[in-house]
Amino acid sequence: MAASFIPDFRLMWYLEELRRKEFVKFKELIRQEAWNRGLPPITGSEIRNVKRQGFAGLLKERYGEQQAWDLALSIFPKLNRKDLCEKAARESAIHAYRAHVKEKFSRLWCRESFTEVQGCFDQTITQEEGASLEDYFTPRAARKPHTVVLHGVPRIGKTRLLTKLMLAWSDGRLYRDRFSFVFYFCCRELKQLTATSLVGLISRERPDCIPITEIVAQPERLLFIIDSFEELCCTLSEPESELCSDWREERPVKTVLGSLLRRKILPEAALLLAVMPERPPGLQNILEHPNMQVLTGFQQSHRKQYFCCLFEDRGQALEAFSLVRDNEQLFTMCRVPLLCWMVGTCLKQELERGRDLAATCCRISSVFLSYVFNLFTPKDAHCPSQQDRDQLKALCSLAAEGMWTDTWVFGEEELGRNGIADADIPTLLDLKVFRKYSESVRAYSFIHMCLQEFYAAMFYLLDSPGGHPSPAVGCTEALLLTFLKKEKSSWVFVGSFLMGLLRESEQQKLDALFGSQRSRAVEPQLRGYLRSLTEQEDFLQQMEFPLLFYGLFEMQSDAFASQVMRGLRGVHLPIRENADLAVSAYCLKYCSNLREVCFQVSNVFEEERGLEPISDDHHCPQTWPSMGKPTQAVGAQKQAVGQSWHRGHQSQASCCLQASVGATHQSPLLRRISDLCVSGEIRILFEVLTSNPNLRNLTLTCTNLSHKDELVLCSTLTHPVCHIEQLNSSFSSEGCRVLSFVLLRNNKLKVLDLSGNELEEGMPALCEALGHPDCTLQHLVLANCQLTEHCAQHFSEALLRNTHLSLLDLSGNALKDEGLAVLCEALRQPTCSLQSLRLRSCSITPRGCPDLASVLTSNPNLRSLELGGNYIRDAGAALLSRALPHPQCCLSNLSLDSCQLTGACCQYVASAIASSQTLHVLDLRGNVLGPSGVMLLCEAESTRQIQMSTPKARPPCLGYHPVNPHQGIPSLTGLRLSRPTRLSEPRIV
């Protein structure tokens, strides 16, 4: 029978375990024990024919639940039912521990949940949360014990969720049949310990109700929750020899928890680890099969519900929510429950004071300043009292010191040094400025890290930083330099707040808040400093452009932005949040001398979810823009917008592109829009092609274009103002028919890359247009388009008529020898102008090489032939080698990499090397040529050097890759032989 933890019914269930004679004796013993204890008696007639359920009810009614249970416990030993006694002892311990958990975490919830509003997101776990948490540890076949990692930025709600988990488990609503014990370890508390053991951690609070022996006997019934793991600064990289496997051994806390996480102690137990993103780095690779989850905080529906519960008037709530939603950055910040409470509380107070919410919601610095102003200014007053001003200045000083020293938790020493007395602490706690860091330590922190950043930014507008009691605090210029170079990863907003507070509207509020301040003197100082920074190439290589852009966007000063930005020549902008689009569009219009723009768009415009699994390549979502550099560089003088787009933000995207293109004033740049995912509404981007004639390169390789999108794109490409020269895009076979009209009407398009699409049915129409005299296309790339030998006839007819096409790439298509033969019929004609042919991995065998050899000996126009990845083998290489010295052969580049060649073909290849007058690049990598074959090739190249008579000839380049570099003569897996192309020869792309 499954054990129950509901006291009302456990006596009845225990009585069900008694045999019939045992139950009869149990009733008589209960009567005697009740008489001995002086309790109200039970008559014989009352128990004569009563059943188990009825007797349990009678005992509860007569003596009360607890006393009835105590009576039963005293009887079980007299019946020699040791099993029931042990079971009862276990259940009593579990029941006592659950009661302790409920009491402790109810207190914790009350202490931490000042953001809770009535009727909204209380301590009761929701059905959605419960389902997600249950799924984390649902047993599956052949599945190892779970280690779940819950990622989330500070104050996103990790501890809040874990508190609800513990309360739900204590009530039997979560993991009831999965875990007998759930232990919660807060590393913020544990880091104060010196040495301990796992037993010590388990029993440090209630040793009287923790049956240690029973616990370790069933480790698969245990769940360990480790919260705020980053507080320990533990890397989990210790050698295994330093870990411990004994749960009773006392070691440093880091070692004990590291041993638990790395499955050295109680490896069968389940683990739930709550951490900040990337703390420690590489966590996913260190742990054993971790289930990575990300906590994204309030979804949009949650934020709306929260506002409606926070405001008494629903109309006011919806008005405030609408204004917040219009500010992407502010709306994103409201994913954090505490910041959502702060923003909503601020706007509610602004309404009560009769102020304009639209003006407050324009910038995050306005919201934060209004919040602080209302915090320290009585409702009927225009400014704070002098005492409140002094307290506020002390907070700003403390925040600035914390920023420079990476301190987020402050003890008595830091508080006293910055002018905060013990008597101030209760007030700051009541105002919700501070929160108590832990129960065991007298230390405090700001309620959120970004509020500390705001107080620190205000410090630089109040007093000279040189007068700070801590020497670590830098000057205003040092603050900006450190912020823009992202030298401190924890600095997210401080620079933006500083620049946002320089607005005239904010300066007026600062005057009222502090009486006097130096913000008006700071503005020209910062303008000149930022302008000088943007003119320094060394600094621009290190600067995080989004940080500067967000600061300028907060300030919203056309004159300031123009002076700062006009010196910029190139910018790199990762687009990771919706707000990044509007910010980039605002700032780029002031870059009057811009020559290079690189956009990198991450996959962030997806439907929001509360708890999301993280795949291997998943980037942990942030609750505000993450200001990291692009992970990959895009070539000079290119503009790229990569990877994803969300419908509803196209107008911002178009504005952003127009701003960047318009800033260059017709400069002859090669520009690119690349890799836009999630189509449907991307057609607004095509308008950029006709409004900005500077765009030359359009890349849409990862975009799922609908047929309507294809029609709009093709129509745009034929517009007189569209100057696109290179198109790299996804297309359907049906779209190829439309694209064929573009080839006839657009003489500006030179490069067309349709790689990776299924296009066989569209080839007839495309090749018909390719053979038309009006088609001026020069490069056609159709790699991996699932073409077969049946398409070869269409290409053959097109090549016979086309005089402009110089490169054709059919790599990765199964043309086979049959298709190659048809294609070679056109290539053999001297009138065929094709210069470069790529047939990599096209299922070509030695049977197709005679056709290729005949092309080399009859068409002097062909300069480059790539055959890597085919089954050419030694016989095919011999045929091609015999053709290379032919007078009609002008081939300069031949690639035979990974063609299953051996040393047997090297005598033919060596002969070709020695006698060919045009061959400059021969790629034989990926073939096992052997030492003797390599020697033949080297001797042939030496002979060729002696025979070279042209004075412009340069020494050839011979490179090789030995399998075993310790051998005297290398056994090669490949060789690439190259000679620089003469200046008079055409350069092949």
Q: Does pLDDT of 789 surpass 60? A: yes
Q: Does pLDDT of 339 surpass 70? A: yes
pLDDT at 104: 87
pLDDT in tens, 266-303: 999 999 999 888 777 778 778 888 888 888 888 888 89
Is residue 157 within 8 Å of 337, Cβ to Cβ? yes
- Nearest CA among 157, 133, 117, 124 for reference residue 298: 157
Q: Does pLDDT of 827 surpass 90? A: yes
Confidence of residue 672 (pLDDT cuts 50, 70, 90): very low
Confidence of residue 614 (pLDDT cuts 50, 70, 90): very low
Stretch 474-501: mean pLDDT, rounded? 91
Q: Does pLDDT of 638 surpass 80? A: no
Q: What is the DSSP letter of 887?
A: T
Q: Does pLDDT of 382 surpass 70? A: yes
Cβ atoms < 10 Å from Cβ of 378: 11
User: What residue has token string 């890290």?
Assistant: 449
Q: What is the mean pLDDT of the chain?
A: 80
Element holding 223 (H helix, E strand): strand 222-227
pLDDT in tens, 180-218: 889 999 888 888 788 899 988 888 766 666 777 777 788
Separation in Å, CA 502 to CA 13, 507, 511, 958: 72, 6, 12, 63
- The pair of three-digit structure tokens given for residue 305, joined into one six-digit string: 């519900």
- The pair of three-digit structure tokens given for residue 985, joined into one six-digit string: 């020869």
pLDDT in tens, 54-94: 888 888 888 887 788 788 888 888 888 888 877 777 777 77
User: Model-level pTM?
Assistant: 0.64
pLDDT at 863: 94
CA 671, chain centre distance (Å): 27
pLDDT at 67: 82
Q: How far apart are CA 597 and CA 948, in angstroms?
A: 47
Stretch 398-411: mean pLDDT, rounded? 93
Q: What is the DSSP letter of 913?
A: H
Stretch 299-327: mean pLDDT, rounded? 91
Q: What is the DSSP letter of 266?
A: S
pLDDT at 950: 39
User: What residue has token string 């109200």?
Assistant: 40
Dump the DSSP string for 737-781: HHHHHHHHH-SS--EEE-TTS--GGGHHHHHHHHTSTT----EEE
Q: Does pLDDT of 945 surpass 70? A: no
112 compared with 796, residue with greater pLDDT: 796
Q: Does pLDDT of 887 surpass 70? A: yes
Burial level of 138, CB count in 10 A (0-12/13-18/19+)? exposed
pLDDT at 980: 37
The pair phi, psi for residue 973, each rounded to 5°, is: -100, -5
Is residue 769 within 8 Å of 794, Cβ to Cβ? no
pLDDT at 673: 41
Give the CA count within 13 Å in the CB-facing half-sphere of 540.
16
Is residue 710 within 8 Å of 738, Cβ to Cβ? yes
Q: Does pLDDT of 631 surpass 80? A: no
Is residue 347 within 8 Å of 378, Cβ to Cβ? no
pLDDT in tens, 527-542: 888 888 888 888 888 8
Of 446-455, 727-736, 852-861, 972-981, least confident by mean pLDDT is 972-981
pLDDT in tens, 228-251: 888 888 888 888 888 998 888 999
579: three-class secondary structure by DSSP: helix
Contacts for 365-369 with beta carbons within 8 Å, 24 or more apart?
365/454, 365/457, 365/496, 365/497, 365/500, 365/501, 365/503, 365/506, 365/554, 366/500, 366/505, 366/506, 367/330, 367/343, 368/451, 368/454, 368/497, 369/454, 369/501, 369/506, 369/509, 369/510, 369/513
Separation in Å, CA 132 to CA 151, 173, 175, 287, 295: 14, 14, 12, 21, 11
- The pair of three-digit structure tokens given for residue 184, joined into one six-digit string: 């919660």
62: three-class secondary structure by DSSP: helix
pLDDT at 143: 61
Query: ∠799-802-808 over CA atoms, to 5°?
Result: 55
Of 335-344, 458-467, 846-855, least confident by mean pLDDT is 458-467
